[in-house]
Amino acid sequence: MRADAKFSARPIALTIAGFDPSCGAGITADLKVFAAHNIYGIACITALTVQSSMGVKRVEPVAPQTVRETLDDLLEDVLPNGVKVGMLATADAVSKTAQFLAKSGIGRQRIVLDPVIRSSSGRELLSPEGVAALRSELLPLVGWVTPNIEELAVLAGSPASVREDVPDAAARLQFLTSEGGNRDLHIVATGGHLDSVDDFLLTPNGKGQWVKGERVETQSTHGTGCAFSSALLCQLIAGRSPEKAAMEAKAYVSAALKAAYPVGRGTGSMHHLFRLT
Query: What is the full DSSP assignment across 112-156?
Result: EE----B-TTS-B-S-HHHHHHIIIIIGGG-SEE--BHHHHHHHH
Q: Is the pLDDT score of 119 beyond 90? A: no
Q: How far apart, in whole angstroms, are the C-alpha atoms of residue 240 and residue 26? A: 24
Residue 83 domain-assigned? yes
Residue 4 domain-assigned? no
Residue 2 domain-assigned? no
Radius of gyration of the chain (CA): 17
Q: Give the mean model confidence (pLDDT) for residues 32-40.
A: 97
Q: In total, how many domains does the chain have?
A: 1
Residue 110 domain-assigned? yes
Identify the three-state secondary structure at position 193: coil
Q: Using a cut of 0.75, tell me whether the model's pTM lies above it.
A: yes
Helix runs in 78-110, H state only: 91-104
pLDDT at residue 73, as a whole number: 97
Q: For the chain, give the percent of residues with pLDDT over 70.
A: 97
Structural domain boundaries enclosing 60: 12-276
Residue 49 domain-assigned? yes
Residue 70 domain-assigned? yes
CATH code of the domain covering residue 159: 3.40.1190.20
Which of 95-109 are b and which e, b meaning 16 or more Cβ less than 10 Å from the residue's Cβ? bbbbebbeebebebe
Report the relative pairing of strands 55-61 and 82-85 from DSSP bridges: unpaired
Residue 275 CA neighbour count, 13 Å, CB half: 13
pLDDT in tens, 140-151: 999 999 999 999
Nearest alpha-carbon partner for 154 in 124, 119, 128, 193: 128
pLDDT in tens, 10-31: 899 999 999 999 999 999 999 9
pLDDT at residue 123, as a whole number: 77
pLDDT at residue 276, as a whole number: 86
95 Ramachandran zone, left/alpha/beta (phi>0; psi -120 to 50): alpha
Residue 5 domain-assigned? no
Q: Is 276 exposed, middle or buried (0-12, 13-18, 19+ CB in 10 A)?
A: exposed
Q: Is the pLDDT score of 2 beyond 60? A: no
Q: What is the mean pLDDT of the chain?
A: 94
Q: Is the pLDDT score of 125 beyond 80? A: yes
pLDDT in tens, 138-185: 999 999 999 999 999 999 999 888 999 999 999 999 999 999 999 999
Residue 7 domain-assigned? no
Q: Is 123 exposed, middle or buried (0-12, 13-18, 19+ CB in 10 A)?
A: middle
Residues 6+ away with beta carbon under 8 Å from 272 = 29, 32, 33, 36, 227, 256
